[in-house]
Amino acid sequence: MEQLRLDDQMTALSQAAGTSMLELVRELYPIMRSITGPGLRATVRRLSAVVPLNITEVPTGTRVFDWTVPDEWRIEEAYIENESGQRFADMRDCNLHVVNYSIPVEMTLTLSELRPHLHSVPEHPDWVPYRTSYYQRDWGFCLADRQLRSLPEGRYRVVIRSTLAPGSLTLAEYLHRGAIEDEILVFAHDCHPSLANDNLSGVAVAIHLAAFLRTRKTRYSYRFLFCPTTIGSLAWLAMNEANLGRIRHGLVLSLLGDSGPLQYKRSPTGDRPIDRAAWYVLHREFPGSQLREFAPWGYDERQFCSPGINLPVGRLTRTPNGEFDEYHTSADNPDLLSPTSLGEAWLACAKIFEALEADRCYVNLSPKGEPQLGRRGLYQAMGGYRDIAERQLAMLWMLNQSNGNTSVLNIAERSNMPIGLLADATLALEKADLLSPVQPVAKPVYKW
Amino acid sequence: MEQLRLDDQMTALSQAAGTSMLELVRELYPIMRSITGPGLRATVRRLSAVVPLNITEVPTGTRVFDWTVPDEWRIEEAYIENESGQRFADMRDCNLHVVNYSIPVEMTLTLSELRPHLHSVPEHPDWVPYRTSYYQRDWGFCLADRQLRSLPEGRYRVVIRSTLAPGSLTLAEYLHRGAIEDEILVFAHDCHPSLANDNLSGVAVAIHLAAFLRTRKTRYSYRFLFCPTTIGSLAWLAMNEANLGRIRHGLVLSLLGDSGPLQYKRSPTGDRPIDRAAWYVLHREFPGSQLREFAPWGYDERQFCSPGINLPVGRLTRTPNGEFDEYHTSADNPDLLSPTSLGEAWLACAKIFEALEADRCYVNLSPKGEPQLGRRGLYQAMGGYRDIAERQLAMLWMLNQSNGNTSVLNIAERSNMPIGLLADATLALEKADLLSPVQPVAKPVYKW
Amino acid sequence: MEQLRLDDQMTALSQAAGTSMLELVRELYPIMRSITGPGLRATVRRLSAVVPLNITEVPTGTRVFDWTVPDEWRIEEAYIENESGQRFADMRDCNLHVVNYSIPVEMTLTLSELRPHLHSVPEHPDWVPYRTSYYQRDWGFCLADRQLRSLPEGRYRVVIRSTLAPGSLTLAEYLHRGAIEDEILVFAHDCHPSLANDNLSGVAVAIHLAAFLRTRKTRYSYRFLFCPTTIGSLAWLAMNEANLGRIRHGLVLSLLGDSGPLQYKRSPTGDRPIDRAAWYVLHREFPGSQLREFAPWGYDERQFCSPGINLPVGRLTRTPNGEFDEYHTSADNPDLLSPTSLGEAWLACAKIFEALEADRCYVNLSPKGEPQLGRRGLYQAMGGYRDIAERQLAMLWMLNQSNGNTSVLNIAERSNMPIGLLADATLALEKADLLSPVQPVAKPVYKW
């Protein structure tokens, strides 16, 4: 059966992918995105040039579980202007200046009347923060704290030329078909305007993984989702609820371009194959990687891992949300990212996929004692040496452990051998009719 | 439903309770107690002035499991006197001078004939030890080793004016009724004469916990037992065997007044809710607390945790029995205790009760994705901040984990959040119809 | 019921056994052994002088699982000779000079033609390595590297006077009958020529354990197997497959005479009683002992622990195969061994057997509260002391934990008490009708 196996070219491929991903981030960065609207559509159009995405428009007003898709937001212009005609917080300078989803406003206010609508981060006086008000109708501006504190007294004209009106929510996906219908889900939120690490980095890694898999045969099918955070993942889940049983493993990608170590956040139970495969790969092959337990705070793993959805979804980031200074400010720009960080994250995902594809249970067809590998040419003829070749040891592990219930990943964890080596040993033993894969039992889907 | 919730007043209450408890200890200390008899009755009479106790007199000769209630012991006077009329080991000076349960004696002996009946602790030459002979008829005196070694040669008149005769064993209990009949059992042995830490400290903490709960609504009912050690707990268990299934959690209290750290001793399996609640509270809120595994040696947890009784009972002490120098000697007097130590132990118990009351399983009524807390006023309207308020995070934890099988204590252990915060979040979510408590399954009672 | 209990004589016995074992090793060392043939037969004949062994000859050509018993090998003479008549690698000097199972050869070759048939260990230029070619017809010589590198150019006459012909494979066993038919299996491979630690040390320890058990009553039966490695254990397993269910615990012995610490290698699941008993004994009583996880590389545990055989077999060695320099070279000679190391290994095995014999489940016949041990003379009459005698504490542990499912080994692990003390307490409680052994449930045999 087809199975993803990586080769010596992967390091070179990951370096090239790193450069290409950062270029894509720089191209997408200036677009004014939100959870709905034309900026979001422009973004998925650009991604479709990498791999052709399937677009779904969900009408505003649609109920998705406990939520309703909000009116679509479009914005032309936003600024504040003092009596001398000086403009501040002009959206043309930086998309973050206007609170995302601000209602239309045109009025004149005193500075003290305006103040409650102005947001800044005093700890970083030159950075503009990112604020949103998707579900409560409000408006506001975000400024560098230094500028906010230096605003002269007087009256200000406030202009926000936006609309909130019926329209739709844009979801985009790409399905790579493998040998079986069971799927690995890869999710990246694509709604943040002019924030590079959060989450153009995740978007870029995901679309480049999709492009890579297009060139390979795989066992699993892979579904890549690009959706606005929360309402987007919820809408996709609500529309695809009948088919969620196909998803065997999932990964949320975000914050992958900074210089921090890779961090894998476990699913709620912490022991799903995705949890074990991800950590196996990271701790062996990406020194310094960190593991963190699930918490119901972060990105869309909050939705995938809610008790009534209960998908086995983990999250890969570098420095997590809220834990680096530039998070949700104008300082999260493309200069924060490096091709090396992006490329390494891409490679880590590919290796996790490889491990998941290799992770099957086998049954030893010659289980009484060791089979005589020597007469099959699988074992050295001369005996008495101190050591055994790694490949032979991998075969002995597979034979010893393959009782039908112990998967390749279990064996890798126990033996501390590379998954790839075990996968190769497995192939050799299958060819020699000494191992046979066990059909997986039906997935125990969580029925609410 | 009613549920014990502690407030900001608890620290102040615990300080006042500490002072009151030490006064009670000083008052009870001089009484000549034993496992039966008038001293024991005087003790429970004094406790009844704090909360009204229900007294049960078990006739001597009654079979309790493998044991028989022994004859009641009364004692008037005990001393030894040399030929010059000088008295030693006079019970009037110290109750410990006479071996507890000594038979009546009036005879004259040489010093060497007397010696096998004299007990001391050579390591602490000025302290009088505590010795008993409840079930084998014997007599003796306990002296400071310095005095024992300086006894002049010669003949000694031995006088013990005691009786061993039919009567009864005195058990005392207080039941605080909560919303449900399931009980939390609190046990303190009350038979030791003139020993302060062992166990007037435990008695004082228990009766003050009873007094506190009288002023509060609780979910559980609470049963406080004051009984002589071993025969007392066995008699109570034998008489109440049919109702032991009501006891969901239990705590033996003793040795709570010294300056050592709080120590929780686990039940035999070590994983009962009382074990987890006690340690959760102690390690978070009482720094320096220690955890010890069960061993069949100590106080009446030996009986509650015997295989045919098998109640989930742990033990709270400070320095355990046998591990402090003053243990079972005249040096275990009220000066060894402090109001702070007593008050803190009292507070720890109250917090353990609070945790047990909060510890229920809930089911998320909106389990597909996160419910939209914002439109219910439970979540901040403006988004984009680095952090989330603790109370909101507590709600997300409750929603994410509430699949009907995961209790509040499980969630507290995982999230490392205070139980009280989770209890408050639970309340808010219940009010919003987002969570519903699950009825507990019938308790799996150990049937012998 | 009979049960092995060790006494104070064991240390003295182990010292005497150590001396006797090293003498036996020195006597067996010069014999030219292989996996078949006269040397192997001479070896088991010598062992039969210690305890009478039951010999089975398995005809060559017999199928055993995936293998076939190879032709029997006999060898008279082997050497290489240069044109000046100088002989090298003469088997008369060292049995290791000829590759074990070499086919008959008589020819003249140039040095460069000969080279591919010459084996050495460059890291240890004066040692002769051990090489075999049992299953692929080949020939060769093993030399000290210093000698190999100094061989003069020229032509060499190669002489190997061997035969490979129908015959049989020699298996030897000794069964010590205990009170029950359930068996403890002890295995030592006996096929290596002139290697002392590997595995005359294991053979000597095993035969001396058999001799010791002959003098004792035991609960289990003990089966000692002396077989050639791999093909020998496989042949024994194939012939005894129907009775493997009798084997409750097993131990492979090898490499027990060097100065390294004792090392126990776990069975594949790592939690079988043999695993727990062995480690309990070693870590308590043989300081410095080491524990290692199962790996499918080593000695005949590879066969016993294959998935279709699945016996609970561990392995006891000192420095494991391949981890000491002298391994599989002429430097593994009797001078590497000490009577102390051999005697200590023998004692460790005896103590492991004692632990396994003691390891039963009991049920407390007076389970409600503690029974009154005092009136049965099992507990001190006078109370109030700081401590309790160890023997009394052992009784309390047995009573508290004996719910029918918890074995003596579980209790030993929890209480950290010596197995022997618990065994004695158990006996006293059985005599007092307070404990009763539980019949073991039928062994859950692995059915392939």
List, in order of start, the domains of chain B with CATH numbers.
10-69+168-358 (3.40.630.10), 72-165 (3.50.30.90), 361-437 (1.10.10.10)
Strands (DSSP E) found in A284-419: 290-292, 313-317, 361-364, 403-407
CA distance C278 to C266: 9
Q: Are B261 and B341 in contact (CB under 8 A)?
A: no
> Who among B135, B234, B322 is closest to C369 (CB)?
B234
Q: CA-based angle A343:A347:A350, to the nearest 5?
A: 140
Alpha helices in C240-296 (DSSP H): 273-285
Mutate to test the interface with A, among C306, C325, C328, C446 (most CBs of A within 10 A): C306
- Residue C11: pLDDT over 80: yes
And the tokens for B290? 């220690």
Number of H helices, E strands in chain B: 12, 19
pLDDT average, residue stretch C80-96: 96
What pLDDT is attached to residue A446? 46
Q: Is A322 on the interface with B (CB under 8 A)?
A: yes
Residue A248's pLDDT band (cuts 50, 70, 90): very high
What pLDDT is attached to residue B384? 87
Task: Enumerate the β-bridge partners of residue A219.
Answer: none
Mean pLDDT of chain B: 96
Q: What secondary structure letter does DSSP report for C331?
A: T
CA distance C392 to C400: 12
Question: Which residues fall within 8 angstroms of residue B287, CB to CB, at 6 or more apart?
Answer: none
CA distance B273 to B258: 27
B325-335 pLDDT, tens digit each? 999 999 999 99
Q: With H, G, I as helix, E, B as strand and everything else as coil, classify residue C336.
A: helix
* CB-neighbour burial class of residue A301 (10 A; exposed 0-12, middle 13-18, buried 19+): buried
Of B227, B282, B288, B220, nearest in space to B419 by CA: B282
A171-189 pLDDT, tens digit each? 999 999 999 999 999 999 9
Interface A–C counts its CB contacts (< 8 A) at: 97
- Residue A445: pLDDT over 60: no
* Cα distances (angstroms) measured from residue C100 to each of A174, A373, C58: 62, 20, 20
Q: Is C201 on the interface with B (CB under 8 A)?
A: no
Which residues of C are less than 8 Å from B133 in CB distance? Answer: 381-383
> Who among A132, A241, A448 is closest to B383 (CB)?
A132
What pLDDT is attached to residue A442? 52
C107-116 pLDDT, tens digit each? 999 999 999 9
A273-303 pLDDT, tens digit each? 999 999 999 999 999 999 999 999 999 999 9
Interface B–C counts its CB contacts (< 8 A) at: 96
Mean pLDDT lowest for which of B250-264, C69-83, C229-243, C431-445? C431-445
Q: CA-based angle C207:C208:C209, to the nearest 5?
A: 90
- Residue B445: pLDDT over 80: no
Which residues of A are less than 8 Å from C95 in CB distance? Answer: none
* Cα distances (angstroms) measured from residue B227 to each of A141, B35, B191: 70, 8, 7
CA distance B104 to B159: 8
pLDDT average, residue stretch C122-130: 97
Question: Which residues fall within 8 angstroms of residue C448, CB to CB, at 6 or more apart?
Answer: A367, A368, C307, C308, C310
pLDDT average, residue stretch B183-212: 98
What pLDDT is attached to residue B446? 45
Q: Is B15 on the interface with A (CB under 8 A)?
A: no
Interface confidence (ipTM) of the complex: 0.95
CA distance B257 to B252: 15
And the tokens for C225? 């197997």
A34-68 pLDDT, tens digit each? 999 999 999 999 999 999 999 999 999 999 999 99
Q: Is A138 on the interface with B (CB under 8 A)?
A: yes
B34-51 pLDDT, tens digit each? 999 999 999 999 999 999
Q: With H, G, I as helix, E, B as strand and everything else as coil, classify residue C193.
A: coil
CA distance B391 to B412: 13
Residue A384's pLDDT band (cuts 50, 70, 90): confident
- Is the pTM higher than 0.90? The answer reads yes
> Who among A368, A374, A414 is closest to C308 (CB)?
A368
Q: Is B122 on the interface with A (CB under 8 A)?
A: no
B384-413 pLDDT, tens digit each? 888 888 999 999 999 999 999 999 999 999
CA distance A64 to A28: 28
CA distance A147 to A124: 12
Q: Is C100 on the interface with B (CB under 8 A)?
A: no
Which residues of C are less than 8 Å from A369 in CB distance? Answer: 64-67, 233-234, 237, 303, 306, 308-309
Of C388, C372, C357, nearest in space to C432 by CA: C372
Residue A441's pLDDT band (cuts 50, 70, 90): low
C343-356 pLDDT, tens digit each? 999 999 999 999 99
And the tokens for A135? 């579900």
CA distance A142 to B341: 53
- Residue C443: pLDDT over 80: no
What pLDDT is attached to residue C442? 52
